Structure 1
Amino acid sequence: MIRARYPLLYVISVEEKPVEEVLQQVALRSVPKRQLLFWDIVRGWSDMRNLMGEFKRSPNIIITTSHTLELPDELLQEVTVVDFPLPREAVQ
């Protein structure tokens, strides 16, 4: 999905840390390497909406994480949702 240049990915996961770890691995293995910047809800959805127009014309991507899907109506048509399951326990 990152290579397909979706401007906004919304990852649903109850734990943010595993998602961040996977994203860091993807960023390091990407050619060219990608830089990760972290954003929080305090900055507001309007900042994200403003960036999406620019990101549609560039290789940049916004990836958000949350335990539930909660988006303003104006962003619902622009987002690609990914369900990120909990890690499985080691099978003995």
Structure 2
Amino acid sequence: MSSNNIKENLEKAFHWHQKVAESGHAEAMNNLVVCYYNGQKRLEKAFHWCQKSAESGHACAMNNLAIYYHVGMGAEKNLEEAFYWY
């Protein structure tokens, strides 16, 4: 498998995660957080999907959202919101 195939597969994987996340699937939303945080370094997008995933009941996303608020990553620092999500 060439590196072009790997890149193409990553792009397809991202595409399908986004489609499923947009349909309301909390785990797919959380997977987008990982993509945006680790891959593209787009913290505002990571925060957006983390918030949606947390609001959908994803426990890991709830904890991560608390951290995002606690340190002001991808959104303004807000200790009250951090406390709520912890």
TM-score after normalising by structure 1: 0.31
Greater RCO (Cα-Cα under 8 Å, separation 6 or more): 1
Structure-2-length-normalised TM-score = 0.33
Higher strand share: 1
